[in-house]
Amino acid sequence: MHEYSIVEGVMDGVIPLARQNGASRVSVIRLRIGTMTDIVREALDFAWDVVCDERGPIVQGCRLEIEPVEPHFVCMACGHEYDADRLHPRCPVCGSGQTLLTKGRELEIASFDIETPETSDDES
Ligand SMILES: [Zn+2]
């Protein structure tokens, strides 16, 4: 399932960076995910737990936080930019259906928090 490979990709990105920064553990990873992606949150949570266990103590029990990104369109006819839900992408100014989605398909690592041996207190 593709949520699994998404989580693998996130870990491949985060773990080496965390190690470089002397992390003993990654406590939370925040992802920015567009609401126009077809990611299923339940499947993502499930894959998250599986992959965190597999990758060992550095990410064991690591929390997943998601920042949703609402769809944002630009009208090709009049240039108006607007937010809209995925079922109503028509331009509210000129009514054109010629619109381009400019936000809402993101899938990126927003940030992550690490614990180091010196600062092992869990403040969260
Ligand atoms: Zn327009």
What does the pLDDT look like over 39-79, one tens digit per residue?
999 999 999 999 999 999 999 999 999 999 999 999 999 99
> pTM value?
0.83
The residue whose two tokens read 């693998």 is 8
- With respect to residue 17, please indicate whether it lies within any of the assigned structural domains: yes
What does the pLDDT look like over 82-109, one tens digit per residue?
998 766 678 999 999 999 999 999 999 9
- With respect to residue 93, please indicate whether it lies within any of the assigned structural domains: no
Chain-wide mean pLDDT for the chain? 92
Edge-to-edge strand ranges of the sheet holding 99-103: 81-83, 72-75, 99-103
Q: Please say whether the dihedral angle defined by the alpha carbons of residues 52, 53, 55 and 57, taken in this order, is positive or negative.
A: positive
- With respect to residue 95, please indicate whether it lies within any of the assigned structural domains: no
Domain span at residue 38 reads 2-71+103-115
Q: How far is the CA of 67 from the centre of ligand 1 (A)?
A: 28
Q: How far is the CA of 38 from the centre of ligand 1 (A)?
A: 27
Q: For residue 18, give the CATH number of its domain.
A: 3.30.2320.50
What does the pLDDT look like over 18-50, one tens digit per residue?
999 999 999 999 999 999 999 999 999 999 999
Q: Report phi then psi at 19, rounded to 5.
A: -65, -45
Tally of domains within the chain: 1
- CA angle 83/65/73 to nearest 5° reads 15
- With respect to residue 44, please indicate whether it lies within any of the assigned structural domains: yes
Q: How far is the CA of 85 from the centre of ligand 1 (A)?
A: 16
Q: How far is the CA of 80 from the centre of ligand 1 (A)?
A: 5
